[in-house]
Amino acid sequence: QVPLVESGGGVVQPGGSLRLSCVASRFTFNAFDMHWVRQAPGKGLEWVTFIRSDGRNAFYADSVKGRFTVSRDNSKNTLYLQIDSLRSEDSAVYYCAVMGPNIYYWGQGTLVSVSS
């Protein structure tokens, strides 16, 4: 089993919405903070958001604040990213990741394309 598997990407019109999911396995999901990182085509990595292990606190990049909402369901070992008011510059591969302590996994990514 792959530790992190993302889904939910697709083609959406500007102004539209998507919800990405990331299912975790092989580690104790509810013990770790979780991140979303994105990568626009041909570009570098951009940190987007992270949520505490208990889901009570979340932090966002300025570029997505107010439009993106991260959440998690620890009973389902699943991380979510609600993306609203999509813009062309949001087109990217979205990765979920756990970045320590002592456990570092990234998913394979899910592609979001914003196009009219």
Partner 1 sequence: DIAMTQSPISLPVTPGEPASISCRSSQSLLHTNGDNYLDWYLQKPGQSPQLLIYLGSIRASGVPDRFSGSASGTHFTLKISRVEAEDVGVYYCMQLLQTPFSFGQGTKLEIK
When the beta carbons of 16 and 27 are compared against partner 1, the nearer one is: 27
Determine contact, residues 61/45, Cβ cutoff 8 Å: no
What residues are paired with 51 via a beta bridge? 34, 58
Distances (CA, A) of 109 to 14, 51, 54, 85: 21, 18, 23, 21
Contact flag: residue 109 with partner 1 (CB under 8 A): yes
Contact flag: residue 89 with partner 1 (CB under 8 A): no
Residue 44: Cβ within 10 Å count:
6
Per-residue contact flags (x/-) with partner 1 for residues 26 to 65, judged by CB under 8 A: ---------x-x------xxxx--x--------xxxx---
- Give how many residues touch partner 1 by CB under 8 A: 19
- Judged by the rule CB under 8 A, the positions of this chain that interact with partner 1 are 35, 37, 44-47, 50, 59-62, 95, 99-100, 104, 106-109
